[in-house]
Amino acid sequence: MSIILGIETSCDETAAAVVRSDKTILSNIVHSQMQEHLPYGGVVPEIAARSHLVYLEPVITQALTQANVTLEEIDAIAVTAGPGLIGGVMVGVMAAKAMAAVHEKPFIAINHLEGHALTARLTDDVPFPFILLLISGGHCQFILAKNLGHYEVLGQTIDDAVGESFDKIAQLLELDYPGGPEIEKLARQGDPNRFVLPKPLKGKPGCDLSFSGLKTAVRQLIENQTLQNPQDRADIAASFQQTIADTLGNRLQNCLDLHGTGVKDLVIAGGVAANQYLRQKLEAVATLYQKRLVVPPAKLCTDNAVMIAWAGAERLKAGYVSKLDFAPRPRWPLTEMNELESY
């Protein structure tokens, strides 16, 4: 059995966690920078990198303390090495490399997307192959996870990520950042059928996604409504959310038609997976196709270091460790993971 320290700094969460290879989570510390980015309505990369620098050391110490382990007892250090905001990624990678060098521990560079993909194996013992719908502020794709390090991107957004759309519409509705939870709350009081909005790519072949046309339509709608009227605001939120649910459901059906054979499990991860309304819609599609729908707990769906530590545990077991000269990657598609041994 091995004990892995995981580190995550690719966006606006400074996170560290300790996970055992028998799937026990010994600690999970996440320091959110949300308050620092709130005035700007989105993540500011420069502020994020500086904040990781300030908080990473105490967050790691807290993760080790809570897990009741010392660095000497750790078997490997796993860190998000991309894709992400490169300033933040560099802070995490340099810290991990330094600890690995000083304590003579294996260093494991983890692709952040692989971390999201493998979480359901930690929480729900999902076997390969499975289909993952990753929906967050930065990612929006259907992934076929065939095996460790072997992923096929089945479809992805051709413009905005779905979480990004929630955040932008929330901003137009003068709601707080992050917008997803705010829209979900407001939508509960609204009529989802009041406004008919365009459903991007609906009925088109394949399983790519697109949200920019929808965003433009909602913006125009907002310009023509009185935002002072609470019912108008709630109806816009509900109609927007329903359109997203409908679009994702439609694309998921296409995805399962094309790639569902031989796959038993459908996993949804990423911050947007916290949305109960969307989950219900996607659950209905999964049931229709006789697939098990797995949604890891919300705190493991959003960015965290448990998923990085767990991916590290899987890689260590398979014998894949990284060289200390591994260069952090701002862009790192999952399809480029197939060169497992080479990094």
Contact residues: Zn ion, CB under 5 A = 136, 303
* Three-state DSSP state, 154: strand
Does position 11 bind ligand KG4 by CB under 6 A?
yes
- The only residue of 192, 275, 307, 313 in contact with ligand KG4, by rule CB under 6 A: 275
> How many alpha carbons lie under 13 Å from residue 314 in its C-beta half-sphere?
23
Does position 160 bind ligand KG4 by CB under 6 A?
no
Question: From the list ligand KG4, Zn ion, none, which binds 249 (C-beta under 5 to 8 Å, kind-based)?
Answer: none
Phi/psi of residue 149, nearest 5 degrees: 85, 0
Q: What gap in Å lies between CA 322 and CA 342, rounded to an integer?
A: 8
The least distance separating Zn ion from the CB of residue 334, rounded to whole angstroms, comes to 12
- Say which DSSP state 40 is in: G
Task: Tell me whether residue 43 or residue 93 sits nearer to ligand KG4 (CB atom).
Answer: 43
The least distance separating Zn ion from the CB of residue 116, rounded to whole angstroms, comes to 6
Place of tokens 């701002």: 330
The least distance separating ligand KG4 from the CB of residue 270, rounded to whole angstroms, comes to 5
Binding mask 123-142 for ligand KG4 (x = CB under 6 A): -------------xxx----
- Say which DSSP state 323 is in: -
Piece of 197-205, 266-274, 282-290, 316-324 that binds ligand KG4 (CB under 6 A)? 266-274
Task: Tell me whether residue 138 or residue 200 sits nearer to ligand KG4 (CB atom).
Answer: 138
Q: Where are the beta strands (DSSP E) in the chain?
A: 3-8, 13-20, 25-32, 76-82, 107-111, 130-135, 140-147, 150-156, 265-269, 292-294
DSSP string, 216-267: HHHHHHHHHS-TTSHHHHHHHHHHHHHHHHHHHHHHHHHHHHHH-TT--EEE
Do 178 and 34 meet the contact criterion of CB atoms below 8 Å apart?
Answer: yes
Cα→Cα distances 52→141, 178, 201, Å: 27, 19, 38
The least distance separating ligand KG4 from the CB of residue 137, rounded to whole angstroms, comes to 3
Question: From the list Zn ion, ligand KG4, none, which binds 208 (C-beta under 5 to 8 Å, kind-based)?
Answer: none
- The only residue of 167, 235, 265, 314 in contact with ligand KG4, by rule CB under 6 A: 167
Task: Tell me whether residue 144 or residue 300 sits nearer to Zn ion (CB atom).
Answer: 300
Q: Which of residues 24-83 bind ligand KG4 (CB under 6 A)?
A: none
Q: CB neighbours (10 Å) of residue 26?
A: 19
- The only residue of 15, 18, 221, 272 in contact with ligand KG4, by rule CB under 6 A: 272
Question: From the list Zn ion, ligand KG4, none, which binds 178 (C-beta under 5 to 8 Å, kind-based)?
Answer: ligand KG4
Does position 236 bind ligand KG4 by CB under 6 A?
no
Q: Which helix (H) or strand (E) holds 313?
A: helix 306-318
Q: Which residues bind ligand KG4 (CB under 6 A)?
A: 11, 136-138, 163, 166-167, 178-181, 184, 270-272, 274-275, 302-303
